[in-house]
Amino acid sequence: MARAVSVAEVKARLSSLVNAVAFGGERIIIQSRGRSKAALVSVEDLRRVEGAHPSRPSKAQRALALVHADRIRKTLKGLKLTDSVEELSRVREGRLRGLS
């Protein structure tokens, strides 16, 4: 989640805010008179937004994908999975028999 910071605070703490964004993964919303005016984001975030580089999934996204894969594996465990070609042939034959 982004943190809101005033323009005055940005002027006073620019170096530490840049480091927080670049190395701490923070996002800073720069506000003037209580209104959001700009954002300070990492180069990685900017590239992702601009689509400049196909971004690699984040660690969190990869971890979530692994959790989903594990759930699917647990759901399918013990089920007999058939080859799709064999299953389609069986269904086709049944339909053809029904037409005759």
DSSP 54-89: -PPPPHHHHHHHHHHHHHHHHHHTT--PPPHHHHHH
pTM value? 0.49
> What are the residues facing 4 on neighbouring strands?
29
Distance of alpha carbon 77 from alpha carbon 72, whole angstroms: 8
Instruction: Look at residue 76 in the predicted model and tell me its pLDDT.
Output: 84
Print the domain residue range for 86: 3-99
Count of structural domains within the chain: 1
> By the 8 A CB rule, do 27 and 2 touch?
yes
CATH number at residue 87: 3.40.1620.10
> By the 8 A CB rule, do 3 and 16 touch?
no
Residue 34 is encoded by which pair of tokens? Answer: 């209580």
Instruction: Look at residue 55 in the predicted model and tell me its pLDDT.
Output: 64
Distance of alpha carbon 21 from alpha carbon 19, whole angstroms: 5
Low-confidence ranges of the chain (pLDDT < 70): 52-55, 100
Helix (H, G, I), strand (E, B) or coil at 29: strand
Residue 81 is encoded by which pair of tokens? Answer: 């999975």
